[in-house]
Chains A and B, each alone.
Chain A
Amino acid sequence: MPGLAPGDSAGGGPDSVNGTLVPYSSDSHVSAIYPLRHGLNPPISRVSVSWGRGNSLRVSVFRQPDSDPKSDGEVGGKVVEVTLGKSRDGEISDAQWRKIAYGSVSPFALLQSRKNSTASLSRMQLSPSPYHLEWWEYVMEYSKDIGSLLGDPKTALATLIEDPNEVFPKKVEEPSSLKAAWELMEMFYVDKLSQAWLPERLVDWLADYNSLISIDLPTVHSKLVEFQNQIVTLQVIEDDPRYWDLISSALAVGWLEIVVKLLRLHGSYRLDQLGRRETENGLVEAVAVLISKMPRMRPAIDAGKIGECFKAKPDFVKAWERWRAQITKLDSSAFWIQCDHRQTREGLKNMLQIMLGNVDVLCSSTCHWMELYISHFLYIRPFTAGLESMYSLAQKCFRLKHTSNPHKLMRLMIGILGENNEVVLAECSRGFGTWMVAHAIELLTAGSNEADILVHEEREDLGGISLEELHRLVYAQLLSSHLLTWQIAPIYLTSCMRQGMGLLEILLLKQPVQENQMLLKNLEICRLYELDGISSHLMEISGMYHWKHGRKGCAVFWLQQAHDEVRLSGIASQLFDSVGKSISGESFKQWEGLIELLGSEGQLAGGLDFLHKYRDFKKCLQHAESRKDADAARQAVESLMSLMRNASTPQRFWLPILYDAVKLLSWDEGPLINVGQTNLLLNKLQELSVARLRPDFVEAELPTQALNHVRYSLATNLGRAILGEL
Chain B
Amino acid sequence: MAVIGIPQTQIHRLSQSKYVDSIRWLPSVSPLQQSAIVAFFDTDADSPSLEVHSLDQESKTLDLISSWVPPSRISSLKCTQAFAVASTISGSLHVFSATEAQDPSSAFRSVVAADGKGFHVGRIAGVDLMDGGSNECVSVGEDGRVNLVRVLDGSYRKVFDGNGLVSYTAVKWASPTEFVTGGCGFGLQWWDLRRPGSAVAQFKGNLEKGRTSGIIHSIDVHPSRKHTCLAGGSAGTVFAWDLRYQHQPIILSGTSNDTAAQPLSESEVWEVQYDSYTKSSMNNFSSSKLLPAMFCSEDGILGVIDQGEEPTELLAEPCAINSFDIDRQNPSEVICSLEWESIAIVSRP
Contacts and interface: CB of A to CB of B under 8 A. Distances in A.
Nearest to B318: A106
A520 B164 contact: no
B44 A94 contact: yes
Interface residues of B, number: 49
A589 B144 CA distance: 12
> Of B164, B166, B206, B268, which is in contact with the most chain A CB atoms at under 10 Å from its CB?
B166
B122 interface: yes
A553 B166 contact: yes
- Which of A102, A516, A553, A592 gathers the greatest number of chain B CB atoms within 10 Å? A553
Contacts of B189: 593
Nearest to B166: A593
Contact of B17 (A81, A95, A516, A593): A95
Contact of B142 (A521, A551, A592, A594): A551
A487 B298 CA distance: 12
A483 B44 CA distance: 10
Interface in A163-196: none
B187 interface: yes
Contacts, number: 119
Interface in A523-574: 524, 527, 546, 549-554, 557, 560-561
A397 B121 CA distance: 71
Contact of B165 (A93, A99, A593): A593
Contacts of B162: 553, 590, 593
B166 A102 contact: no
B312 interface: no
Interface stretch (B48-56, B107-115, B196-204, B246-254): B196-204
A527 B122 CA distance: 29
B242 interface: no
A597 B187 CA distance: 7
Contacts of B206: 599-600
Contacts of B197: 589
A549 to B, nearest CB: 7
Nearest to B267: A524
A551 B341 contact: no
Given A98-B17, A551-B143, A596-B185, A524 B298 contact: yes
A660 B212 CA distance: 37
A515 interface: yes
A93 B44 CA distance: 10
Nearest to A101: B340
Contact of A552 (B164, B185, B266): B164
A99 B17 contact: yes
Contacts of A94: 44
A198 B273 CA distance: 56
A552 B166 CA distance: 7
Size category, A interface: 35 or more
A554 B184 contact: yes
Interface string B170-207: 00000000000001110101000000011100101110
A484 interface: yes
A592 B183 CA distance: 13
B165 A590 contact: yes
Contacts of B212: 561
Contacts of A600: 206
Contact of B144 (A484, A487, A520, A593): A593
A399 B106 CA distance: 66
Given A527-B267, A553-B162, A516 B169 contact: yes
Contacts of A599: 185, 204, 206
Given A515-B123, A597-B185, A599-B206, A589 B198 contact: yes
A105 interface: yes
A561 B268 CA distance: 15
A591 interface: yes
Nearest to B297: A524
B43 A592 contact: no
A93 B43 CA distance: 13
B280 interface: no
Contact of B198 (A98, A99, A552, A592): A592
Interface of A: 81, 93-96, 98-99, 102, 105-106, 482-484, 487, 515-516, 520-521, 524, 527, 546, 549-554, 557, 560-561, 589-594, 596-597, 599-600
Interface of B: 15, 17-19, 43-44, 46, 89, 121-123, 142-144, 161-167, 169, 183-185, 187, 189, 197-199, 202, 204-206, 212-213, 215, 234, 266-268, 298-299, 318-320, 339-341
11 contacts: A95-B18, A482-B43, A484-B19, A520-B234, A527-B266, A589-B198, A590-B144, A590-B161, A593-B187, A594-B165, A599-B185
